[in-house]
A and B are shown apart, each in its own frame.
Chain A
Amino acid sequence: QKEVEQNSGPLSVPEGAIASLNCTYSDRGSQSFFWYRQYSGKSPELIMSIYSNGDKEDGRFTAQLNKASQYVSLLIRDSQPSDSATYLCAVNTGTGRRALTFGSGTRLQVQP
C-alpha cells in the first residue's frame, strides 16, 4: 500500500465549477498535510497546509482533514483555466522525520 494515495486523473471540470481533489494516507501518526500545485515544467508551489481536523479556507481554496478516516481533500471553488495543473498531496509523519512523503498527484483540467 502506498503511503500517500491520490487519483491520478485527469479530473476535468468546467470553468466556474468546484474541483474536489482527494488524498488518503496510511500512517496514523501523520501530523502535517500539504497541498502543492505544480504547473508543467515548474517546481511545486505550496497552496495550503492543514494540521488539525476540520476545514481551512484560503480564498478559493479549502483544505479538509479527517484524521480518523486518514483523508485530506482540497476544494477549489470557481475553478479557472489557470488552475489547470497537477496537485500534489504531501504528508509529514511527524515521528522525527522532517521530510515530506508525496502522493503521485492529480492532474486537474479546467475547461473554459
Chain B
Amino acid sequence: SAVISQKPSRDICQRGTSLTIQCQVDSQVTMMFWYRQQPGQSLTLIATANQGSEATYESGFVIDKFPISRPNLTFSTLTVSNMSPEDSSIYLCSVESFGGRGGSTQYFGPGTRLTVL
C-alpha cells in the first residue's frame, strides 16, 4: 500500500481565515480523494482530484469554498476557505491503489484535525 502523509496534522484557526492541507504520496497515483469526517460522523467525499484536470466536487461542496490543486501524481492540496466553526472536522486524503484480484482499493492518510473558533 502507498504511504501517505498529510500536513498539518492538526490546526486551530480563526473564523474567516483559510487553511491549506497538503497530501503527499510516496508513489505516483492517478486518483486522489478528499473526504471530510465531522465529529461522530462517517466519511463524506468532498471531491476527486485527478492530475491534469479540474477536481470533481460532490453535491454540497464548491470550488470557491474548497479549492483543490493536483500539480503532479504524488501531491495534492485542499484549501478550506473563509472558515466557520461548522468546518471543524477531520480532513482526509486518500489514494487509489491497484493490485491483486478484483480491482482497486483506497488507502487513507493520517488526516488533518481542524478546529475553527
Interface residues of A (CB under 8 A from B): 31-32, 34, 36, 42-46, 49-52, 88, 90, 92, 94, 98-105
Q: Does B67 contact A (CB under 8 A)?
A: no
* Docked complex Cα distance between A34 and B104 (Å): 10
Q: Which of B70-78, B81-89, B105-113 contacts A (4 or more CB under 8 A)?
A: B105-113
Indicate if B80 sits at the interface (CB-CB under 8 A): no
26 contacts between A and B (CB under 8 A): A31-B103, A34-B105, A34-B106, A36-B108, A43-B90, A43-B109, A43-B111, A44-B43, A44-B92, A46-B107, A49-B102, A49-B105, A51-B102, A52-B102, A88-B42, A90-B43, A92-B103, A92-B104, A98-B48, A98-B96, A99-B33, A99-B45, A100-B106, A102-B42, A102-B44, A103-B42
What 7 pairs between A and B have smallest CB-CB spacing?
Answer: A51-B102, A43-B108, A102-B43, A43-B111, A104-B42, A102-B42, A99-B45
With A and B bound together, what is the CA distance between A102 and B46 in angstroms? 13
A43 to B110, CA, bound (A): 5
User: Per a CB cutoff under 8 Å, which of A31, A42, A88 touches B43?
Assistant: A88
A contact residues around B41 at 8 Å (CB)? 104
Measured CB to CB, the nearest residue on chain A to B34 is: A99
B108 partner, pick from A44, A52, A94, beta carbons under 8 A = A44
| Pair B31/A98 contact, Cβ less than 8 Å | yes
Q: How large is the interface on B (under 10, 10 to 19, 20 to 34, 35 or more residues)?
A: 20 to 34
Interface of B is mostly: strand
Most chain B C-beta atoms within 10 Å of own C-beta, residue among A36, A46, A50 = A46
A105 touches B42 (CB 8 A): yes
In angstroms, Cα B95 to Cα A98, docked, is: 10
